[in-house]
Amino acid sequence: MARLYSKKLFVLCVCLSASFFLIITLQVLMELSHFERKQEDHNYKPKQTIQAANPWTPIGRPGDPSSQYPVIVWWSPLTGETGRLGECGEYRCFFTINKTYHGHPSTQAFLFYGTDFNVDSLPLPRGVHHHWALFHEESPKNNYKLFHEPVVALFNHTATFSRFSHLPLTTQYLESLEVLTSHTHLVPLSRKNLLRASLAPVVYVQSDCDPPSDRDAFVRQLMKYIPVDSYGQCLHNKELPAYLRDSTTMEEPGFYKILAQYKFTLAFENAVCDDYITEKLWRPLKLGVVPVYYGAPNIRTWLPAEMSAVVVSPNESPEKLAELLKELDGDDEEYEAYLGWKYRREVTNQNLVAEMRRRRWGIQDVTKDSHIDVFECIVCARVWENINRQEKGLAPKTWRAEGNHLTCPPPRTFDFAVGPTSRSSLRGFWRPSFEQSKKEARALRLFAQRNANFTVEEFWKQVFRN
């Protein structure tokens, strides 16, 4: 009887794990397709490359094995390059997405793209000299298990949105300070006031509904107190002109033109983590529209000027916010106080200025390397640093990712709204998903420490153990 019961329990467990797995797979698939679209936007083109047929050609000192090029394997097919000799200043490394290099003696490092960092294939066993490097600039919702110390600490090098990572990508959606101060799209307030006859004071454009930040619950409530024109799929109430309806990008001039007519844009991130800042903030700032920002709790570290956005706190009441926005809508002087920096073309936040000067990579800028190129080269240089130390008989240097290189507090929903916002709503999904990801992180850590490859079944069994 007890055996039968435990058997039933086991079947139940397997079913549960299977459905969890399905949900997660589904999520990953969704994100992957999202990622592919993003890659198209990125227009990633490797620079300074030499196509190498044979990576083992020794450089300089024939016969000396350590003078061969170190191999760095992208464990996600991010770059699509099956083999490329990358030039990183004085260093060269052979970059490939070909996983058969896992056991090759020249393989020194593995690069992972966070969104497809998956348990079903990891380069285990990991050699003592194997560097692991994590590139993850996307939202935590794409892979929560990475956001816990047990997993973060597996990596030696990081490029994430966190300002603490080895290559901080916090400003990855901001091309330059010049686009912020530019008046190209700015609509004069007198014109905005006239347009108010046909437009709401606030615009919202979002098609990724019910993300972990619970923004749609907030906006739904806000709409009860102030008119909001919503062009996206979430809380949709206004149509784009026909010629823009098929547009796949929100960076089209026609689209900019529409958005620039508004006084306020709801710039609500899909997740609430320090330093996680997207184009949702920068776009209105570029256009001369005041962002009503909800997202990174430390956003004031990054705003171009103190009075450049209306910052929404997690405990804000939508009704109170609506009151403030209506007040600003009715008082030109008060409203324009938020655009003073723009009118003066002045970014006063020295932290932002310093970061933009320090940044070695560019966005769709042919004169600069991409953040991916720069990260590859950081890893290549560090690999060489240890090769050189070894030649001199010195102990290798170690690098380690800290918990704060990738972290985000648990997602929380707004108290004033209960229940799902629609039948297909994911609103109730994020918190349990986050809690479960902690278990996944611990299981992953355990398997990584055992240093033998494992099956997906073994992984989920470990996750659901007690």
The contact set with ligand NAG (CB under 6 A) reads 82, 98, 100, 131, 153, 156, 386, 396, 398-400, 453-455
Residues 6+ apart with CB under 8 A from 178: none
**Nearest CB to ligand NAG, comparing residues 98 and 221:** 98
Nearer to ligand NAG, 101 or 204 (CB): 101
For residue 454, the minimal CB distance to ligand NAG (Å) is: 6
Closer to ligand NAG by Cβ: residue 120 or 333 = 120
Cβ of residue 20: shortest distance to ligand NAG, in angstroms?
20
Smallest separation, CB 433 to ligand NAG (Å): 25
Output 47 or 400, the one with its CB closest to ligand NAG.
400
Q: How far is the CB of 63 from ligand NAG (least distance, A)?
A: 22
* Whole-number Å distance between alpha carbons of 10 and 439: 19
- How far, in Å, CA of 359 to CA of 375, rounded? 12
Q: Which is nearer to ligand NAG, 149 or 208 (CB)?
A: 149
Which tokens belong to 342?
């723009």
Least Å from the CB of residue 408 to ligand NAG: 21
Q: What is the nearest approach in angstroms of ligand NAG to the Cβ of residue 453?
A: 4
Q: Which is nearer to ligand NAG, 79 or 172 (CB)?
A: 79
Q: Rounded to whole angstroms, how far apart are CA atoms 99 and 235?
A: 44
**Shortest Cβ distance from residue 342 to ligand NAG (Å)?**
45
**Token pair of 182, please?**
């530019």
C-beta closer to ligand NAG: residue 119 or 258: 119
Judge whether 275 and 161 are in contact, CB under 8 Å: yes
Closer of 136 and 185 to ligand NAG (Cβ): 136
Cα–Cα distance, 100 to 109 (Å, whole number): 13
Distance in Å, CB of 39 to ligand NAG, minimum: 19
Q: Which is nearer to ligand NAG, 121 or 237 (CB)?
A: 121
User: At its nearest, how many Å lie between ligand NAG and the CB of residue 224?
Assistant: 51
